[in-house]
Every structure is written in C-alpha cells, then in structure tokens.
Amino acid sequence: MSGQASEKGRNYFVVMATEGEPTDLIKVLHLLVMSFAWGMQVWVSFIAGFVLLSRVTRHTFGLVQSKLFPVYFHCLLGSNFVNLALFAVYHPRELLDWKETVQMCLYFGAVVLAGLNAQWFGPAIVDALFGMQEVEREHSLGGDVGMVANKQAYVKLREQDPKYKALSSTFFRYHGLSNLCNILGFVCTSINLVYTALHLHTI
C-alpha cells in the first residue's frame, strides 16, 4: 500500500514537472540573455581590449579597464544567473538526462566563474593596477602606447623598486586567474548557446 502511494506520488511529481512547458516569451528571453552574455564576452575579451591597447597610452588603457571591468563582470554575473534560473525552472533535477546535467553544470560554472571575477579577481586587479600607476608616474612612465613600448624601462623599474615588483606580481597573478575564469566562462556559454541553437523547440 505504501509502495503504491509512493509510486503515485512520484508519477504525480513527474506529471507536474513536465506539464509546464516554457512559453515563447521565456524562450526568447532565455536566448536573448544568453546571446547578450556571449556577445559581451566576445567584444570585451577579443576586440575592445586589443583595440584600446594599440590606440591609447598605458595609463589611459588601465583607467578605461578599471571602469569597464566592474560593469562587465556584474552584467555577466547577472546574465549567467538568469540563464541558470530559467534552465533550472524547466529542468527539475530528478528528471535530468546526462546532456541536461552537463548543461546545468555549465550554467552553474559560468555563474561561479563570473562571480569570482566580479567579487574577487576584478577588484584585486584594479587595486594593484592603481598602485602600479602611482609608482610609474613617479618615474615618468605610463604615457607610452602599447604594452611592448619602452618595455625595458618597466623591467628595470621592477628590478629596482620592491614595491613595484610586489604590485606587478599581484597584478599579473590576479589578471591571469581572471583571464582563465573569463575564458572558461566563455566556453561554458558557447557550448550552451550551441546546444540551445540545435534544440530551439525548448530551452
């Protein structure tokens, strides 16, 4: 008797979980938010930074990035969270197949990676960057265009100034971790976008 009741309860849950198909509005919203996140990552990671780096001075580039990073990382975090929430609502954990489980992990991973950049790596990069620029201005550096311009002067400054060397190490460590999180998040979003494009009848 208890077994039959348990089976009825499970069947009822399955029916309730699968009868709520996403509306057209939800599908459009999900695709738009995912496309927004993907396009933003492409622009910031592979286009805007390289263009700025070759057109403005090092300190101007750093200032622009310090203003852009917080907005970028928080927009990315918000977009990834919306994508995860929409997917989770229409894919209960008890009914996930292995493909949907992978998708769920990718959505969750994208949120975590964006969160690390928004709350930890991004602020650490900006703090170290401003400290480096302060030291560079004391030595009349930072007005050159491009990262390779006057490179020896920055190498020499790192060798002679312990404070600048420590700030540089902090900056490059967190910048590397931030780039890694950004690339991995981009891969997560790209895979989910491709899978969604191949299954446009649902989300």
* 109-121: pLDDT as tens digits: 999 999 999 999 9
Q: List pLDDT tens digits, range 35-62.
A: 999 999 999 999 999 999 889 999 999 9
pLDDT of residue 196: 87
Give the residue extent of every domain in the chain. 26-198
pTM: 0.85
Q: List pLDDT tens digits, range 173-188.
A: 999 999 999 999 999 9
pLDDT of residue 20: 62
Q: Residue 146 phi/psi, 5° resolution? A: 95, 145
pLDDT of residue 13: 41
Quote the mean pLDDT of the chain.
Answer: 88
Whether residue 17 has pLDDT greater than 70: no
Q: For residue 177, give the nearest of 48, 55, 73, 57 by alpha carbon.
A: 73
Are the C-beta atoms of 149 and 107 separated by less than 8 Å?
A: no
Rounded CA-CA distance 189/79 in Å is 10
Distances (CA, A) of 31 to 3, 26, 78, 120: 42, 9, 15, 28
Question: What does the angle CA 78 – CA 79 – CA 84 come to, to the nearest 5 degrees?
Answer: 100
Are the C-beta atoms of 98 and 56 separated by less than 8 Å?
A: no
Length of the chain: 203
